Amino acid sequence: MITNNILDISPLSKLQKLKELYLSYNRIIDISPLLQLKLNVLWIAGNQISDFSQLTSIYDQSVLSGFRLDGQKQLSKSDQKEYSNLQVIQHSIKQNKSIVKRQTHFRKQSQFYLNSINIQLTDVAKKISKMFQLTESFFYQYQEVDQ
């Protein structure tokens, strides 16, 4: 369900056996319908989420091993939770610069994906050096195109 202009995800709340959910690049603002789900993978990059405290609830109730949150323009340091059991996480330096500062909290990750604009690889390497179980890293840059 990636890139489908989805706004309302309330019907998903009834899918109690759902384990993986890919909702990136839609128009989702409210993720509260996901609060009762026990997800293993949640990709919600590029949406318009307004209340990041809901992410804390999802994290506490799930067994997330994969999580993608890049493209959230309003994510601040106070909105972040130390998702220490994640194995895969993706995020964008452009929108979420403060996350890189906290990479030492992702010690159990085995994969790390990073979309970046104007960031030095050496800066990132210092931050992820304490991710002891890291087996794969993907760093790539992209350019925005004004439309």
Domain ranges of the chain: 10-141
CA-wise closest residue to 118 among 136, 100, 137: 100
* Joined tokens for residue 131: 């991710």
pLDDT reading at 83 higher than 90: no
The two three-digit tokens of residue 83, written as one number: 């998702």
Task: Check: CB of residue 16 under 8 Å from CB of residue 36.
Answer: yes
Q: How far apart are alpha carbons 36 and 127 in whole angstroms? A: 33
List % helix, strand, coil for the chain (3-state, nearest 5). 25, 20, 60
pLDDT at residue 5 greater than cutoff 50: yes
Instruction: Tell which residue, 23, 98, 97, has the closest CA to residue 66.
Output: 23
**Do residues 117 and 93 touch, judged by C-beta distance below 8 A?**
yes
Q: Answer whether residue 25 shows pLDDT above 70.
A: yes
What mean pLDDT, rounded, does the chain reach? 63
**What is the rounded CA–CA span in Å between residue 34 and residue 39?**
9
What superfamily in CATH does domain 10-141 come from? Ribonuclease Inhibitor (3.80.10.10)
Bridge-based pairing of strands 111-116 and 20-22 is: unpaired
**63-77 confidence digits (pLDDT tens):** 666 666 655 555 544
Q: Check whether 123 has a pLDDT greater than 80.
A: no
Q: Has this prediction a pTM greater than 0.75?
A: no
Q: 107-120: per-residue pLDDT in tens?
A: 445 455 555 444 44
